[in-house]
Amino acid sequence: MDDLEWLATRTGSTALGGRPFAVSARHRAGVVVEPTRVQEATRTGVPVIAVVGLPDGRHHSVIKAAEARLAVDMGAHEVWLAVDVDAAGDNGVLADVLAVRQAVEAPARLGLLYRDRPEIVRAGELVGVDKLVCEAGERIPDTALDVAVTGTVDTVEAVVSALDAGAGEVFTTPG
């Protein structure tokens, strides 16, 4: 396997907000979509990641759990959870994460949007989440969880830099 092929297995794209699917041979790690677009995204032939609770995580935990379960039933390989930005401390975050963890069963994986909140890392490690998802430019915290970076990462050098900083995957947002 050459370097570009290896890099492609660790690079995906986002198609949030109605963006078109920008999946290519360079984006084999998957495509990130809203749960309502999972079935359409499965036609791309790459893993599908559904984000529940966007944009601010203020949906009720039960709604996010139902959305996550439905996304997996429709073909999502992974679900990323947006925790309520105003969740009160560890208990509020933990309740949200636990509800969705119970809805996302193996082999599907669960990730958490980090949002520079240490209590999200603690909840993820405690509940057995699979991945922490950081925004491009955000500090990657010290964690045992797999890490993905998402956002405006528009050069090969920026992707390599994110991988070098500790990310296992990078999901780019088309310009």
Higher pLDDT, 9 or 113: 113
So what's the pLDDT on residue 142?
92
Domains of the chain with CATH codes = 3-130 (3.20.20.70)
Q: Work out the pLDDT band at 26, boundaries 50, 70, 90.
A: confident
Residue-level pLDDT at 3 = 74
| 104-108, long-range: CB < 8 A, 24+ apart | 104/68, 104/69, 104/72, 104/79, 105/72, 107/77, 108/72, 108/76, 108/77, 108/78, 108/79
Local confidence band at 65 (pLDDT 50, 70, 90 cut-offs): very high
**169 band by pLDDT with thresholds 50, 70 and 90:** very high
Is the per-residue pLDDT at 1 higher than 70? no
| pLDDT value at residue 89 | 66
Whole-model pTM: value is: 0.93
How confident is the model over 121-149, as pLDDT tens digits?
999 999 999 999 999 988 899 999 999 99
Structure letter (DSSP) for residue 47: -
Percent of the chain with pLDDT over 70: 97
In the chain, count H helices and then E strands: 6, 8
* Confidence (pLDDT) at 132: 97
Query: Taking Cα atoms as reference points, which of 162, 169, 96 lies closest to residue 126?
Result: 96
